[in-house]
Chain A
Amino acid sequence: MANSVLHVADVHKSFGGLQALSDVDLNVEEGTTHAIIGPNGAGKSTLLNVCVGRIKPDSGHVVFNGEVLDAHTPDEINQLGVSRVFQTPEIFPDLTLLDNVMIPAFAHRDGSFSLRPFSKLRHETTIRQEAEQVLSDVGLEALQTREAASLSRGDKRRLELAMCLIQRPKLLLLDEPTAGMARHDTNRTVDLLKTIKARGMTKVIIEHDMHVVFSLADKISVLAQGRIIASGTPDEIKGNPKVQEAYLGGAQ
């Protein structure tokens, strides 16, 4: 069995009377793509929020590469090597695409705070080239000097993906990376994610599109009403009657 990169141990979280996550136990192994599926409101995004420090769990722990994440702030968790694509794209709307991608690159290179107010941006050729490369990886190279706010929803997602990729995270969390994309763009994104997988990056992906899930995932966990009802390889999940009932059957 490969090394576990992310270990979610017994996490509970409730909002008021709503039990969003109960007894969630999850092991993500190094280099794999772990998909989390489940009906709306199952707690998928809450789970990712717990992982990046946006929400503190009521009990239980999230352990990343041996480091307990509960006490860390979001920027520290990112510096440990966790990047995230949000469900609604979180980008820098009034900066150019190139700037959008260069900012995370600086965070990756210089740490959470670096004060060199007089160094020149135009001398940062390495980072600029990296940024151009990543933008062309996601297919946005033609729009480099555009303002990010002017992008379509699908393009914003790809931009956000580029912002995460340039940091070469050890763990990439993707919250519905293809939602709002045309079929053609979805295929592109899936191809891109396959390429990243070849580089050995560990990923956790939340996705509704079963085509995407089954073409990417090594392992799938099914979340329903805050509980993991099944975990296994795609074939195991396909054949699991509980899953059929809770999710696949109901949705299709």
Chain B
Amino acid sequence: MKQMLSREPFALLAFSLVILTMPIWLAPLGANYPDLLQKFTIYAIFAMGFNILFGLTGYLSFGHAAFLGIGSYAAVWSFKLFTMNVLPALFFGVAFSGLFALLIGFISLRRSGIYFSILTLAFAQMCYNLAYSVLTPITNGETGLQLTLQDPRIIDRALAEPGKGLPSTELFGLSMSGYSGFYFCAVVLIVCFFISRRIFYSPFGLTLRGIKSNQSRMNYTGFNTRPYTLTAFVISGMFAGLAGSLLAVTDPLAGAERMQWTASGEVVLMTILGGVGTLIGPMLGAWIIKYFENIFSAFNPETLQSFFSFLPEGLRTVAVDVSSLFVGEGWHLTLGVLFMLIVIFLPGGVMEGWRRITRRFGGGSGTKPASSPNAAVQPAE
């Protein structure tokens, strides 16, 4: 099984199967409605891209939400100016965020460690403030950028008479709301997984790992590390821009709050929760956080009452009172506790937990597929 999954076609097939059947296997968890499923796939892309920079290269960016926001704005502008077709929107989202990543990365990557993090945070806050106030003509300030009836939409108008009311996003006539929106995001996620996997198992990925492990050794080994870190930064910025434009595809409006530093912090949490530097860990982290955000926050005392209905009256009141702290408005508390537990007991995140379980029960080794397992073992002399 493990051997098979290390082959590319099988890995892709298994991954696609898991993603495309999400509406089925998430049903028992109550998370199979399109809106949440779209968020699962979109934030998985965001976290996967972030992991290329943080997990592989070891640079902790605290400003990746800026690229998410830039992707959203670019996509909505594409809807407003050109067409409601989503493909140009994705293109512009990725292109603009890539451009910004190139600029911000070029400056920030002059430093590493905490200084790099602070620089990216500063840039992201600058982007947020620009979007929120200074650039109001482009971003529509605190209201957020929305579609209007007066939008030029030149390509769509040239092809057909505009219908009544606001149009919705579409892919050659297929509306991008509900399940079709989810499946579109899912296909994009599968493509992103493929790209990310290729990077992981390429000499380029190995080089990035080397930079994370010992950058000065890389210099004395003959590598010019700056172009490598910049490439990783731009790739992860483009992933974020792609996620941002998908957010606009499923719901065509863009607001500045998407770029706030809390949003940048969230993707850091996702990555750490799932497993830094692993291929699918960040995606799992994104799912966990989005699940808590949407499901736990929807719990109210009534749902808890029915959940604890098997307890006698007095105990039930206590159980409901205590647990109600952790649901509804208090879902952040649950997330915080979970995050602390994972960081303390499972520093490698969910993926480390999984590895420990398989090692205990399967007796399998945790070696990386990149290394050859059939090395002849010989005595030292």
Residue B222 contacts which of A108, A141, A142 (CB distance < 8 angstroms)? A108
Given contacts A106-B207, A121-B202, contact A142 B370 (CB under 8 A): no
Instruction: Tell whether, in the assembled complex, residue A122 and residue B222 are in contact, meaning their CB atoms are under 8 Å apart.
Output: no
Q: A152 → chain B, closest Cβ, in Å?
A: 12
**Contacting residues, chain A, for B223 (C-beta < 8 A):** 75, 107, 112-113
Instruction: Tell whether, in the assembled complex, residue B370 and residue A113 are in contact, meaning their CB atoms are under 8 Å apart.
Output: no
**Contacting residues, chain B, for A83 (C-beta < 8 A):** 220-221
The reply to whether the CB of B363 lies closer than 8 angstroms to some CB of chain A is no
> Chain B CB within 10 Å — which of A98, A111, A113, A188 has the most?
A113
**Contacting residues, chain B, for A84 (C-beta < 8 A):** 220
Q: B195 → chain A, closest Cβ, in Å?
A: 8
Q: A187 → chain B, closest Cβ, in Å?
A: 10
The reply to whether the CB of A27 lies closer than 8 angstroms to some CB of chain B is no
Q: B196 → chain A, closest Cβ, in Å?
A: 10
The reply to whether the CB of A78 lies closer than 8 angstroms to some CB of chain B is yes
Residue B213 contacts which of A94, A114, A132 (CB distance < 8 angstroms)? A94
**Closest residue of B by beta carbon distance from A173:** B220
Instruction: Tell whether, in the assembled complex, residue A95 and residue B210 are in contact, meaning their CB atoms are under 8 Å apart.
Output: yes
List CB contacts (< 8 Å) of B358-374 with chain A.
Answer: 367-373
Instruction: Tell whether, in the assembled complex, residue B214 and residue A75 are in contact, meaning their CB atoms are under 8 Å apart.
Output: no
Instruction: Tell whether, in the assembled complex, residue B228 and residue A118 are in contact, meaning their CB atoms are under 8 Å apart.
Output: no
The reply to whether the CB of A209 lies closer than 8 angstroms to some CB of chain B is no
Q: A241 → chain B, closest Cβ, in Å?
A: 38
The reply to whether the CB of A91 lies closer than 8 angstroms to some CB of chain B is yes
CA distance A90 to B220 in the complex (A): 9
Residue B367 contacts which of A119, A122, A145 (CB distance < 8 angstroms)? A145
**Contacting residues, chain B, for A163 (C-beta < 8 A):** 221
**Closest residue of B by beta carbon distance from A112:** B224
Instruction: Tell whether, in the assembled complex, residue A99 and residue B209 are in contact, meaning their CB atoms are under 8 Å apart.
Output: yes
Instruction: Tell whether, in the assembled complex, residue A128 and residue B380 are in contact, meaning their CB atoms are under 8 Å apart.
Output: no
**Closest residue of B by beta carbon distance from A143:** B375
For the side of the interface on B, what is the size category?
35 or more
CA distance A2 to B378 in the complex (A): 41
The reply to whether the CB of A46 lies closer than 8 angstroms to some CB of chain B is no
For the side of the interface on A, what is the size category?
35 or more
CA distance A142 to B219 in the complex (A): 28
The reply to whether the CB of A102 lies closer than 8 angstroms to some CB of chain B is yes
CA distance A92 to B203 in the complex (A): 15
CA distance A52 to B216 in the complex (A): 12
Residue B206 contacts which of A73, A74, A99, A132 (CB distance < 8 angstroms)? A99
**Contacting residues, chain A, for B220 (C-beta < 8 A):** 52, 54, 74-75, 78, 83-84, 86, 90
Q: Mark B214-252, 1 if CB is under 8 A from A, else 0.
A: 101111111111011001000100000000000000000
**Contacting residues, chain B, for A119 (C-beta < 8 A):** 202-204
**Closest residue of A by beta carbon distance from B235:** A117
Residue A96 contacts which of B203, B219, B368, B376 (CB distance < 8 angstroms)? B368
Residue B370 contacts which of A91, A121, A188 (CB distance < 8 angstroms)? A121
Q: A168 → chain B, closest Cβ, in Å?
A: 12
List CB contacts (< 8 Å) of B180-222 with chain A.
Answer: 195, 198-199, 201-207, 209-210, 212-214, 216-222
The reply to whether the CB of A41 lies closer than 8 angstroms to some CB of chain B is no
CA distance A212 to B205 in the complex (A): 39
Instruction: Tell whether, in the assembled complex, residue B204 and residue A115 are in contact, meaning their CB atoms are under 8 Å apart.
Output: yes
Instruction: Tell whether, in the assembled complex, residue A106 and residue B217 are in contact, meaning their CB atoms are under 8 Å apart.
Output: no
CA distance A36 to B63 in the complex (A): 49
Instruction: Tell whether, in the assembled complex, residue B221 and residue A103 are in contact, meaning their CB atoms are under 8 Å apart.
Output: yes
CA distance A158 to B269 in the complex (A): 39
Q: A166 → chain B, closest Cβ, in Å?
A: 10
**Closest residue of B by beta carbon distance from A145:** B371
CA distance A119 to B201 in the complex (A): 8
**Closest residue of A by beta carbon distance from B8:** A120
**Contacting residues, chain B, for A110 (C-beta < 8 A):** 203
**Closest residue of B by beta carbon distance from A167:** B222
CA distance A91 to B220 in the complex (A): 11
The reply to whether the CB of B377 lies closer than 8 angstroms to some CB of chain A is yes
CA distance A94 to B347 in the complex (A): 15
> Chain B CB within 10 Å — which of A91, A115, A145 has the most?
A145
Instruction: Tell whether, in the assembled complex, residue A117 and residue B204 are in contact, meaning their CB atoms are under 8 Å apart.
Output: yes
**Contacting residues, chain A, for B209 (C-beta < 8 A):** 92, 95, 99
Instruction: Tell whether, in the assembled complex, residue A92 and residue B210 are in contact, meaning their CB atoms are under 8 Å apart.
Output: yes
The reply to whether the CB of A139 lies closer than 8 angstroms to some CB of chain B is yes
**Contacting residues, chain B, for A124 (C-beta < 8 A):** 203
Instruction: Tell whether, in the assembled complex, residue A75 and residue B219 are in contact, meaning their CB atoms are under 8 Å apart.
Output: yes
Given contacts A117-B198, A117-B204, contact A139 B222 (CB under 8 A): no
The reply to whether the CB of A65 lies closer than 8 angstroms to some CB of chain B is no
CA distance A122 to B380 in the complex (A): 28
**Contacting residues, chain A, for B378 (C-beta < 8 A):** 141-142
Given contacts A74-B219, A95-B213, A103-B221, contact A122 B371 (CB under 8 A): no
**Contacting residues, chain B, for A78 (C-beta < 8 A):** 219-222
Given contacts A98-B370, A99-B210, A167-B222, 6 further A-B contacts (CB under 8 A): A74-B220, A117-B198, A117-B235, A118-B199, A124-B203, A142-B379
Residues in chain A within 8 A of chain B (CB atoms)? 52, 54, 73-75, 78-79, 83-84, 86, 90-96, 98-99, 102-104, 106-108, 110-122, 124, 128, 132, 139, 141-142, 144-145, 163, 167, 188
Residues in chain B within 8 A of chain A (CB atoms)? 195, 198-199, 201-207, 209-210, 212-214, 216-225, 227-228, 231, 235, 367-373, 375-381
Q: What are 13 A-B pairs at a CB distance below 8 A? A: A75-B220, A78-B220, A83-B221, A92-B210, A98-B372, A107-B221, A107-B223, A112-B223, A113-B223, A113-B228, A117-B198, A121-B201, A142-B378
6 A-B pairs with least C-beta separation? A78-B222, A107-B222, A92-B213, A112-B224, A117-B204, A90-B217
